[in-house]
Amino acid sequence: MSTKQQGGRTTGKFKTSEKTGASAEKSSSTESNIAPAAGKLGVMVVGLGAVATTFIAGVEAVRRGLAKPIGSLTQMGTIRLGKRTDNRSPLVRDLVPLADLNDIVFTGWDIFEDNVYESAAHAKVLERDTLEELRPYLESITPLPAVFDQYYVKRLQGNHVKKGKNKRDLANQVIEDIRAFKKKVDRVVMIWCGSTEIFIEPSAVHQSIESFEKGLDSNDIGIAPSQIYAYAALSEGVPFANGAPNLTVDIPAMIELSKRNAAPICGKDFKTGQTFMKTVLAPAFKARLLGVSGWYSTNILGNRDGEVLDDPESFKTKEESKLGVLDYILQPELYPDLYRDIYHKVRINYYPPRGDNKEGWDNIDIFGWLGYPMQIKVDFLCRDSILAAPIALDLVLFLDLAKRTPGLRSIGIQEWLSFYLKSPQTAPGLYPEHDLFIQSMKLKNTLRHIMGEDLITHLGLEYYD
């Protein structure tokens, strides 16, 4: 569907509302040929645990009118278009052609044989009544055998796994799974909702498609199961999202493959609870030039994710992802007096009684005028999977949109989806934007841009002409 067909908006110009002269002059090839979201969207979920089952059951509950998709920008969000005086704020899904929830078809892999109903019951996120109401549908989704190796997730042991002579063979088996699913649907997106793997540093095997493929043949230890799924997806032109902090597609080989096969990718690790709050509060301190001397973050959680993260090697992967945000937001090199000496600590403690209902505490030591100290305490009693499910939905729908959008599909990394992720992925040499409101603006301006709408800079001088 062209943007012209979608309501006669002008296309072909990169324009701004409340604009600067510079960006007003800039012209770019705005999209006018986004393919329609026709037919079925197949969603292949790796790991059918707490997040995945809450996502799948939630989509089905919304489809049946049992509940609202709260937390989902694609379903409930609006987007301002034009000037503030224009009074145009359609729903996001009325501006861009997104797949309808009724057109989503799920499948997935897990190392356990439990169907989605059984796994959701085990996860204990959703109420029993809700699960019973959805039971036949949830029972109909059974996992395909997984690619798994306990070396990469120490605390898990499952036997619903593929066997193969080497990693290449396993990748080929995943490719076969994708091809079989493609026969039932019109388009496919893959999302990793599997466990956090051990910390892996990028190495020679990750540097090009050729070295990666050699590594698949030689069973290189640097290739984790998540990368075997991602390789299979990108080889098949299937967009890939990563809900965990695993290295997965954050390597040159995958970026190359993503561009080559027009299979969009984005960063990693759903930004849900504590980090979501951190990326709201830290930009506020910086905007007001308040100093931060310490930020201590601790969590208790008792779900399977918590159990996996109890292993130091998996925790290290999560820790890196959670620690990264403050440095980038606070920019101590630009504000040495305010942030040079910050002590930032993150802990996660496995505490079974809480299940999925995590508690995240933050103690923040700040200082103000003349260096006088103050403290802020945040105690977020959240529900991990309830916060993650709408993010999974939005990522899937937006990656599918990117795949259908000529100007986005072959650029590889979709930085505009940073909004959803603790570790946004960026072009080499670019620092990631972690500030939630910059990320939100980037996302919405990308949607305006692909639909030929004016970008919004919030300058607003034209109202005072």
Residues that bind ligand NAD (CB under 6 A): 46-52, 109-112, 123, 146-148, 153, 156, 158, 193-196, 225, 243-244, 269-270, 272-273, 303-305, 308, 384-385, 387-388
**Closer residue to ligand NAD in complex, CB, 286/422:** 422
**Closer residue to ligand NAD in complex, CB, 390/452:** 390
**Closer residue to ligand NAD in complex, CB, 120/330:** 120
Q: How far is the CB of 371 from ligand NAD (least distance, A)?
A: 36
**Closer residue to ligand NAD in complex, CB, 265/451:** 265
Q: How far is the CB of 280 from ligand NAD (least distance, A)?
A: 16
**Closer residue to ligand NAD in complex, CB, 249/456:** 249
Report CA dihedral (253, 426, 282, 302) to the nearest 10 degrees: -30
Question: What is the C-alpha separation between 63 and 376, in angstroms, rounded?
Answer: 41
Indicate the residue whose CB is closest to ligand NAD. 49
**Closer residue to ligand NAD in complex, CB, 308/443:** 308
Residues 6+ apart with CB under 8 A from 369: none
Q: In what order do the strands lie in the sheet with 373-381?
A: 343-350, 291-301, 359-367, 373-381
Q: How far is the CB of 144 from ligand NAD (least distance, A)?
A: 9
In our burial notation (b when 16+ CB lie closer than 10 A, e otherwise), range 275-291 reads: bbbbbebbbebbeeeeb
Q: How far is the CB of 194 from ligand NAD (least distance, A)?
A: 4
**Closer residue to ligand NAD in complex, CB, 97/194:** 194
Q: How far is the CB of 318 from ligand NAD (least distance, A)?
A: 6
Q: How far is the CB of 451 from ligand NAD (least distance, A)?
A: 30
Q: How far is the CB of 321 from ligand NAD (least distance, A)?
A: 8
